[in-house]
Amino acid sequence: MTGTRAIYSQLVRELFERLPHAGDLGPGAGTAVHGEAMALDRGAWVRFDARIEDGRVVDCSFRAWGCPHTLAAAALIASRLHGEGIGNEAAFDALRLARELGAPAEKLGRLLVVEDALSGMLARAHALQ
């Protein structure tokens, strides 16, 4: 087992410390959508929940099991989506996440799980339009 020698970037450390938007959606208006992806063998399990109203993400939250990069990536996405218009969301693919978080290459597999959960939720959100 043992941890990796990866030094976590400042951004990962900050996000991990606070983990904004972790847990469940608060009560509120709009239509709830979610997306979930799980790859236990790769070491990640992520679920996003959002509430959509008038084509905007009015609330967003995540739940996750995984390493600090996985949790930080999920928190980063949930924070960015909040208040965003559907169709305007930035492209949160695994490579971009890895770059932004300064994650080492061996974490890509897990960040793909984050990407998958997000794609699933966004697909449902788009379907609402």
Residues forming contacts to another protein in the complex (CB under 8 A) are 1-5, 7-8, 13, 16, 19, 22-23, 36, 38, 40-41, 43, 45-47, 62-68, 71, 106
DSSP states of 38-69 as a string? EETTTTEEEEEEEEEETTEEEEEEEEEEE-HH
Judged by beta carbon, residue 51 or residue 69, the one nearer another protein is 69
Separation between Cα atoms, residue 24 and residue 117, nearest integer Å: 16
Judged by beta carbon, residue 2 or residue 129, the one nearer another protein is 2
CB of 118 to another protein, least distance (A): 14
Judged by beta carbon, residue 86 or residue 115, the one nearer another protein is 115
CB of 87 to another protein, least distance (A): 27
Q: How many CB atoms lie within 10 A of CB 80?
A: 15
CB of 1 to another protein, least distance (A): 4
CB of 69 to another protein, least distance (A): 9
Q: Are 43 and 97 in contact (CB under 8 A)?
A: no
Q: End-to-end CA distance of the chain: give it in Å, rounded.
A: 46
Amino acid in position 97: L
Judged by beta carbon, residue 24 or residue 53, the one nearer another protein is 24
Separation between Cα atoms, residue 78 and residue 20, nearest integer Å: 8
